[in-house]
């Protein structure tokens, strides 16, 4: 936004008086306030923007060519390559995974009051029960008994409401509960923003202005009753790497609950409920737990029942567990109704979904709210990843590109380096360091990376095939048409 202002200012006739306004929603109130508080263009923010774009251009232009020559991949990028790295590492974990066989044991027990309890074996742990003989030995021991209650507790636990939406959490919830891709979520959110229904939807802030919070708290009392409105308002901590240039994503008018129909209404209702729930009372759950001992073996079971719904009265997405472990006392002997032993295998780690990859990007400090969805689209367009049943599968080409980037030790695929670079860009915006200083330091490191990548690329391209026209060896290279052979003397 600051850069657009600077660009417009630069092409206006010399001497034109200009002011910059900043707003987070397209409403009369927000625009009027913005005009009242108009300021000059912030040159430090413009410098941070320019540094970001130059960094992306340097990486894209300078590093894509060796990547293409070595692997056939179309491009490398400061944000896309860091994202591809953690996706590629998960893909290799899955491919290299060796399953472990174990036996899970579950017992059905009957209390003194004739109430049934289902309790899995917890000691020894599942993976330690690694043979059929051992599993049978445990089942036989349970049949002989006695099975006694060794621990029992019931305790009330309170849970704080979720914070209002940031771009990342909005994309994650839309994926989980609406089945949408991050791209679709941002498209629908853009429509809501343009209709003046929500605040700006590209944000990493959980902050809500005080007057809106007061309005929300008043509406909670009216709609749900005084017990659903806590005595003090909730505050949510700033996330690591957050710039907080805008408020959290929220409705511009809390009195509007259903502005329309279709997809836009589905997303709006989710945003509305998230904001209102964020200022409601804690939900209270009765957590119950029991442990049962039979010789050296331990079984256990847990339960949870909501005793006061609190913020869950409004935020009704997702199911709540509703099971309480029956009352019993330590020392009680339980009857064994039945027991089972099932042969199972450990499963590989699950692939990232689009939503969980956005969460990981945010956690690692890769990119910004405005780039999360676009980064995944870029990886798909480059054929580095493909979405199969909502899971991100890294292709052979994607793995090949990751392997080359890591082997060449490019600085921008070092996830710690990437997060630190985001901090450096924020420091430029805060006038703590100059743009040229950050760019120069980065380019000195990158030049060495590129030289190393070229050496590795040349080594990898060598073959044992002889050229038909001279004594040279053929090199394997890549073009937009695919792989081809070229003489080393060409």
Can you give the length of the chain in residues?
490
Cα separations in angstroms, 440 against 58, 62, 227, 443: 11, 15, 58, 5
Classify 56 as helix, strand or coil.
helix
Q: Which two tokens stand for residue 296?
A: 């050296």
Which pLDDT does position 372 carry in this prediction?
87
Q: Which two tokens stand for residue 459?
A: 């080594």
- The rounded distance, in Å, linking the Cα atoms of 71 and 73 is 5
- Active-site residues, by number, are 200
Q: Which two tokens stand for residue 62?
A: 């300078």
Which pLDDT does position 442 carry in this prediction?
92
CA–CA–CA angle 164, 166, 167 (5° rounding): 145
Point out the residues of the chain with pLDDT beneath 50: none
Which pLDDT does position 240 carry in this prediction?
64
Question: Does the bond joining 146 to the residue before it have cis omega, within 30 degrees of 0?
Answer: yes
- The rounded distance, in Å, linking the Cα atoms of 216 and 248 is 14
- The rounded distance, in Å, linking the Cα atoms of 395 and 384 is 5
- The rounded distance, in Å, linking the Cα atoms of 197 and 375 is 27
Q: Which two tokens stand for residue 108?
A: 């059905």
- The rounded distance, in Å, linking the Cα atoms of 474 and 479 is 15
| Residues contacting 3, CB < 8 A, separation 6+ | 45, 46, 49, 50
Cβ burial of 169 (10 Å; 0-12, 13-18, 19+) is buried
Cα-trace Rg, the chain = 29
Closest C-alpha among 388, 170, 397, 364 to residue 278? 170
Which pLDDT does position 100 carry in this prediction?
95
């Amino acid at each position: 936004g600051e850069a657009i202002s600077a660009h417009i200012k630069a092409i206006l006739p010399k001497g034109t008086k200009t002011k910059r306004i900043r707003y987070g929603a397209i409403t009369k109130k927000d625009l009027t306030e913005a005009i009242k508080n108009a300021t000059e263009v912030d040159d430090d923010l413009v410098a941070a923007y320019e540094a970001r774009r130059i960094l992306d251009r340097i990486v894209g232009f300078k590093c894509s060519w060796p990547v293409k020559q070595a692997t056939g991949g179309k491009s490398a990028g400061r944000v896309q390559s860091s994202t591809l790295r953690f996706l590629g590492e998960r893909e290799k974990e899955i491919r290299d995974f060796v399953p472990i066989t174990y036996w899970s044991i579950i017992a059905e027990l009957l209390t003194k009051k004739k109430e049934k309890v289902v309790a899995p074996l917890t000691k020894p742990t599942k993976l330690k029960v690694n043979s059929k003989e051992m599993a049978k030995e445990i089942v036989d021991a349970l049949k002989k008994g006695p099975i006694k209650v060794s621990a029992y507790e019931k305790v009330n636990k309170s849970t704080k409401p979720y914070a209002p939406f940031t771009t990342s959490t909005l994309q994650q919830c839309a994926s989980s509960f609406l089945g949408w891709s991050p791209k679709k979520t941002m498209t629908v959110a853009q429509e809501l923003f343009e209709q003046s229904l929500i605040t700006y939807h590209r944000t990493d802030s959980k902050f809500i202005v005080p007057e809106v919070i007061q309005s929300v708290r008043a509406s909670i009392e009216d709609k749900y009753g005084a017990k659903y409105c806590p005595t003090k308002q909730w505050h949510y901590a700033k996330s690591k790497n957050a710039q907080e240039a805008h408020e959290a994503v929220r409705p511009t008018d809390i009195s509007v609950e259903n502005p329309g129909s279709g997809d836009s209404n589905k997303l709006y209702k989710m945003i509305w409920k998230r904001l209102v729930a964020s200022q409601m009372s804690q939900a209270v759950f009765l957590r119950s737990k029991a442990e049962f001992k039979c010789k050296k073996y331990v079984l256990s079971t847990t339960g949870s029942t909501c005793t006061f719904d609190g913020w869950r009265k409004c935020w009704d997405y997702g199911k709540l567990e509703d099971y309480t472990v029956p009352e019993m006392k330590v020392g009680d002997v339980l009857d064994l109704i039945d027991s089972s032993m099932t042969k199972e295998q450990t499963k590989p780690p699950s692939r990232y979904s689009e939503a969980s990859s956005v969460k990981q990007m945010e956690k690692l400090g890769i990119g910004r709210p405005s780039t999360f969805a676009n980064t995944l689209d870029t990886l798909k367009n480059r054929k580095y990843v493909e979405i199969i049943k909502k899971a991100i599968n890294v292709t052979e080409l994607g793995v090949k590109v990751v392997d080359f980037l890591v082997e060449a030790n490019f600085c921008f695929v070092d996830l710690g380096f990437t997060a630190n670079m985001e901090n450096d860009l924020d420091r430029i915006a805060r006038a703590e360091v100059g743009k040229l200083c950050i760019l120069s330091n980065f380019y000195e490191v990158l030049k060495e990376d590129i030289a190393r990548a070229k050496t590795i690329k040349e080594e990898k391209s060598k073959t044992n095939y002889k050229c038909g026209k001279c004594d040279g060896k053929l090199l394997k290279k890549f073009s937009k048409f695919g792989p081809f052979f070229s003489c080393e003397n060409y």
